[in-house]
Amino acid sequence: MDATKSIERHTIYKLRCETAKREKVREKMLGKLLRVMQIIWTTAIRLAGAAVGAAYGWESYGVIGGTALSFCGLIIGRLLSSPLLLCCF
Protein backbone atom coordinates (compact mmCIF):
# COMPACT_ATOMS: atom_id res chain seq x y z
CA MET A 1 0.00 0.00 0.00
CA ASP A 2 2.85 2.37 0.77
CA ALA A 3 4.53 1.48 -2.51
CA THR A 4 1.47 2.43 -4.56
CA LYS A 5 1.10 5.74 -2.71
CA SER A 6 4.75 6.46 -3.34
CA ILE A 7 4.34 5.70 -7.05
CA GLU A 8 1.23 7.89 -7.22
CA ARG A 9 3.04 10.76 -5.49
CA HIS A 10 5.98 10.43 -7.83
CA THR A 11 3.68 10.37 -10.87
CA ILE A 12 1.82 13.47 -9.65
CA TYR A 13 5.13 15.24 -8.99
CA LYS A 14 6.38 14.41 -12.51
CA LEU A 15 3.14 15.69 -14.07
CA ARG A 16 3.38 18.96 -12.12
CA CYS A 17 7.00 19.44 -13.19
CA GLU A 18 6.16 18.77 -16.84
CA THR A 19 3.23 21.19 -16.68
CA ALA A 20 5.43 23.88 -15.13
CA LYS A 21 8.06 23.36 -17.84
CA ARG A 22 5.43 23.64 -20.57
CA GLU A 23 4.11 26.87 -19.06
CA LYS A 24 7.62 28.35 -18.95
CA VAL A 25 8.23 27.40 -22.58
CA ARG A 26 4.86 28.87 -23.57
CA GLU A 27 5.65 32.14 -21.75
CA LYS A 28 9.03 32.37 -23.48
CA MET A 29 7.50 31.73 -26.88
CA LEU A 30 4.79 34.34 -26.35
CA GLY A 31 7.39 36.83 -25.16
CA LYS A 32 9.50 36.26 -28.25
CA LEU A 33 6.47 36.50 -30.53
CA LEU A 34 5.41 39.78 -28.94
CA ARG A 35 8.94 41.16 -29.28
CA VAL A 36 9.09 40.23 -32.98
CA MET A 37 5.69 41.82 -33.59
CA GLN A 38 6.82 44.96 -31.76
CA ILE A 39 9.92 45.19 -33.97
CA ILE A 40 7.85 44.73 -37.13
CA TRP A 41 5.30 47.33 -35.98
CA THR A 42 7.99 49.87 -35.06
CA THR A 43 9.84 49.39 -38.34
CA ALA A 44 6.67 49.70 -40.41
CA ILE A 45 5.49 52.87 -38.66
CA ARG A 46 8.89 54.53 -38.84
CA LEU A 47 9.29 53.70 -42.53
CA ALA A 48 5.78 54.95 -43.26
CA GLY A 49 6.50 58.22 -41.45
CA ALA A 50 9.76 58.68 -43.31
CA ALA A 51 8.14 57.85 -46.67
CA VAL A 52 5.26 60.28 -46.14
CA GLY A 53 7.66 63.00 -44.99
CA ALA A 54 10.01 62.41 -47.90
CA ALA A 55 7.21 62.39 -50.47
CA TYR A 56 5.62 65.56 -49.13
CA GLY A 57 8.98 67.30 -48.74
CA TRP A 58 10.12 66.31 -52.22
CA GLU A 59 6.92 67.56 -53.84
CA SER A 60 6.79 70.80 -51.87
CA TYR A 61 10.41 71.81 -51.22
CA GLY A 62 12.70 69.65 -53.35
CA VAL A 63 15.65 67.56 -52.24
CA ILE A 64 16.41 69.50 -49.04
CA GLY A 65 12.76 69.45 -48.01
CA GLY A 66 12.51 65.75 -48.74
CA THR A 67 15.52 65.02 -46.58
CA ALA A 68 14.39 67.27 -43.74
CA LEU A 69 10.80 66.06 -43.67
CA SER A 70 11.97 62.47 -44.01
CA PHE A 71 13.94 62.95 -40.81
CA CYS A 72 10.90 64.56 -39.16
CA GLY A 73 8.83 61.59 -40.32
CA LEU A 74 11.30 59.22 -38.67
CA ILE A 75 10.97 61.09 -35.39
CA ILE A 76 7.18 61.24 -35.57
CA GLY A 77 7.10 57.56 -36.54
CA ARG A 78 9.21 56.75 -33.50
CA LEU A 79 6.77 58.60 -31.26
CA LEU A 80 3.77 56.89 -32.84
CA SER A 81 5.32 53.45 -32.59
CA SER A 82 5.62 53.65 -28.80
CA PRO A 83 2.58 52.07 -27.13
CA LEU A 84 3.07 54.15 -23.99
CA LEU A 85 2.74 57.40 -25.89
CA LEU A 86 -0.33 56.18 -27.75
CA CYS A 87 -2.07 55.46 -24.45
CA CYS A 88 -1.47 59.00 -23.23
CA PHE A 89 -3.42 60.66 -26.05
Average pLDDT, the chain: 83
CA distances from 37 to 30, 31, 70 (A): 10, 10, 24
Does this model's pTM top 0.75? My answer is no
Instruction: Parse the chain into domains and list their residue ranges.
Output: 2-88
Give the tens place of pLDDT for each residue, 24-56: 889 999 999 988 988 898 889 889 989 999 999
